[in-house]
Amino acid sequence: MRIALCQINPTVGDLAGNLELVLDAARRAASRGADLAVFPELVLTGYPPRDLLEKESFRRRSLESLERLIAASASVPCGIVAGYVGAAPEGSRRSVTNSAALIEKGRLLATQSKMLLPTYDVFDEGRYFQPAASQRVCEFRGMRLGITICEDAWNDKQFWERPLYDSDPVESLVSQGAGIILSINGSPYDMTKRALRRQMFTAMARRHRLPHVYVNMVGGNDQLVFDGSSFAVDAEGRIAAAAPSFREDIVFFDTETCHGELRESHADEVEAAYDALVLGTRDYIAKCGFRSVIIGLSGGIDSTLVACIAADAVGAENVTGVSLPGPYSSDHSLADARALAANLGIRYEVISITPAYETLLATFAPVFAGAAPDVTEENIQSRLRGLALMALSNKWGSLVLTTGNKSEVAVGYCTLYGDMAGGLAVISDVPKTMVYELCRRVNARRPGTIPENVFIKPPSAELRPNQKDSDSLPEYEVLDPILKAYIEELKSPAEIAAELGQPPELVRSIINRVDRNEYKRQQAAPGLKVTTKAFGMGRRYPIAQRFFEE
């Protein structure tokens, strides 16, 4: 059997558009000799649909989309496996299922619902879906297919030290005589996932002595980036077919020869993360109905990276960089911003906030009388910049991209309604030290794009004379490992201090800053997830709480 791994980019809620994507890809697969075209999880609705699933109209129209696919398949020479939102059996606790349909020549041959529903990190499927009671092998053109949906294949008790679930759907299908396992997925990217998936599926293929096909969606949906990276593994655990990461493609796997098409992809995970950010930015902009973006271009490393990502995402002609110098801005900041804009070929504007800042200080002078200047005056500058960028956004219909990195967002080194103002926080899951790595990758791809001075000057918000980030924070080489250990690895202050050799009081102070600034993060623009634990939908902490680490 010749199986097509159809790695496509659906949009949540675009039922008609997603259906056309599936049919177009299925026809192209059939034209190249496919017997079966396999598509990702919930491909007809997009993933994750979240509370759209609570709308009766959405559920009804989702089923209508499946019926249209079945009818249209009459003219498609190959079979189709596609994910959809199904109706749960009468009397179920939930009204819908996360299901897969096997379709051929205008007929629905079989369905299979997801059994293991993840409810951790960014996943909340137990809130919506009724789990399948069992797994069943289905027949297609003489082959016994075992169809699993994403998490169903993530519970191999010989791979995981502590499996999350009691049952193993893959093991059940193998015991029923499945000749191949087809896994359809909506698996979001982080920097560990591409390698982990291959390790897991090659181990299962060797253990069960069966080929496994893994099909993942590609594209950005809100905070999640889906990398694709689909593949097929033969019964020996060898990667026999592989799709690229971060772009749509159709690759083939032949079950008789156990050979397939192998596309090249990223060998370096920092390079992969950059392309994840480009894809997530491009799709967020397009799927939200925008065409152009605005960036506050300070001449610093963070706004530099965001500008490079934006130019790659939507084209330089659709990016405007705006420098907003204030009373403490340096000449080199303007020079670096101007040089970057010229190198990227983006539009560049300069709007001074100094006149507005001086007017506001004069306005507030009577009520500020007797109070020494402090962070208030610094935040006024930041908020004037946010006001200016949002004014341009309103006037031009462009989306503002914020430029705060994960290190700053973690400890609250950012200003509500100031530098946090915007529609997408492109690098809010990128630690500061990784920002430098990504910028070096930009210059490796396009030498000379980023001025060398951007790399070597000390980071500064330039909100007071001679200000440096290190006045308020530890050096980022010290800060970032502490943040990773606490936020991503959930380690205690004592563990972190011991493992990293840092003073316990320093570790506690950083951790308490993280906890105290939850109120800021919950008012931030959505950010793109690239690490194992990002701020946003996968990290849920209360704001009004009194627990602090000791």
* Backbone phi, psi, residue 216, to 5°: -120, 150
- Dihedral of alpha carbons 444, 446, 447, 448, sign: negative
Distance CA 121, CA 529 (A): 11
pLDDT at 163: 87
Q: Is the peptide bond before 48 cis (omega within 30 degrees of 0)?
A: yes
Residue 114 is among the residues annotated as catalytic for this protein: yes
Q: Give the closest residue to 514 by CA, choosing from 410, 406, 407.
A: 410
pLDDT on residue 377: 94
Task: Tell me which DSSP letter residue 130 carries.
Answer: P
User: Is position 41 annotated as part of the catalytic site?
Assistant: yes
Q: What CA–CA distance (Å, rounded) separates 231 from 248?
A: 13
Three-class DSSP labels, 371-391: CCCCHHHHHHHHHHHHHHHHH
Q: Which pLDDT value is given to residue 463?
A: 79
Catalytic residue among 6, 150, 308, 439: 150
CB 225 within 8 A of CB 189: yes
- What is the rounded distance in angstroms from the CA atom of residue 80 to the CA atom of residue 302? 44
> Is the peptide bond between 49 and the residue preceding it cis, with omega within 30 degrees of 0?
no
What is the per-residue pLDDT for 218?
Answer: 98
- Assess whether 150 carries a catalytic annotation: yes
pLDDT of residue 331: 87
Q: Which of 6, 104, 114, 484 is catalytic?
A: 114
- How many whole angstroms separate alpha carbon 198 and alpha carbon 133? 28
Q: What is the pLDDT of residues 144-155, one digit of tens each?
A: 999 999 999 999
Q: What is the pLDDT of residue 62?
A: 96
pLDDT tens series, the chain, 550 aa: 999 999 999 999 999 999 999 999 999 999 999 999 999 999 999 999 999 999 999 999 999 999 999 999 999 999 999 999 999 999 999 999 999 999 999 999 999 999 999 999 999 999 999 999 999 999 999 999 999 999 999 998 889 988 889 999 999 999 999 999 999 999 999 999 999 999 999 999 999 999 999 999 999 999 999 999 999 999 999 999 999 999 999 999 999 999 999 999 998 999 999 999 999 999 999 999 999 999 999 999 999 999 999 999 999 999 999 999 998 888 888 999 999 999 999 999 999 999 999 999 999 999 999 999 999 999 999 999 999 999 999 999 999 999 999 999 999 999 999 999 999 999 999 999 999 999 999 999 999 999 999 999 888 777 778 778 788 889 999 999 999 999 999 999 999 999 999 999 999 999 999 999 999 999 999 999 999 999 999 999 999 999 988 7
Domains and CATH numbers, the chain: 2-264 (3.60.110.10), 273-521 (3.40.50.620)
pLDDT the model gives residue 117: 97
Given 41, 104, 378, 462, which residue is catalytic?
41
Q: What is the per-residue pLDDT across 381-411, written as a single tens digit (0 to 9) for each?
A: 999 999 999 999 999 999 999 999 999 999 9
Pick from 391, 329, 321, 379: nearest CA to 354: 329
Integer Rg of the chain from CA: 25
> Do residues 214 and 193 touch, judged by C-beta distance below 8 A?
no
Q: What is the pLDDT, as a whole number, of residue 471? A: 82
> Residue 461: its pLDDT value, please?
75
Classify 269 as helix, strand or coil.
helix
Rounded Cα–Cα distance for residues 265 and 262 (Å): 9
> What is the structure's pLDDT at 255?
96
